[in-house]
Amino acid sequence: MVLLDRDGTINQEREYLSSPDELELLPGAADGIRRMRELGLAVVVVTNQSGVARGYFDEARVHEVHDRLRAMLGKQGAALDGIYYCPHGPDDGCECRKPRTALAEAAARELGGDLSASFVVGDKASDIRLGCAVGAATVLVRTGYGARTEGDGGAGADYVVDDLIEAARVIEELVEITIHYSPLTLDIRQ
């Protein structure tokens, strides 16, 4: 399973994206997502949307943006297996706001994924910390706030890449390593 951040990772960073009309995919985002799914991985979005708690837009608007995101990806042959979002603010103490793990756990439960065998891809420290919290491999993209996050030390990401296309290449390599070098069960008979 691949858990992707939304803003700055899949689409252009817009401070509190509140309109489907403002949504613009990053170059290669659809290609990267399509490649991840071709590897047999579920691909979901896990995103903090505190603009709801701040009163900048309502949850209906979040759904409109997500509908538009799905349509834009679909036109390029890419699809998402789910979108999970936190509408709370940073001080609300919820369990779903990244880097807390409730959204990732919900995705794994609903899609039958193993978080410790998953990948978390994003442009912020909260994305990387989420991945670390669930035992996933972490990939920092330099899009959105990623270059700044990298400059601040990369938040301990396992891998740092330019974009989702490069993230898909890293994930493909890791999947191939797992397939080729998975532990063998030996039948030892006396």
- The residues assigned a catalytic role are 5, 7
Half-sphere exposure at residue 7, Cβ-oriented, CA atoms within 13 angstroms = 20
User: Would you give the DSSP letter of residue 48?
Assistant: E
């995919």: which residue's tokens?
A: 25
Residue 168: name the closest of 82, 79, 43, 23 by CA. 43
C-alpha–C-alpha distance, residues 18 and 22, integer Å: 8
Sign of CA dihedral 126, 57, 10, 39: positive
Looking at the DSSP assignment, which residues form a beta bridge with residue 160? Answer: 140
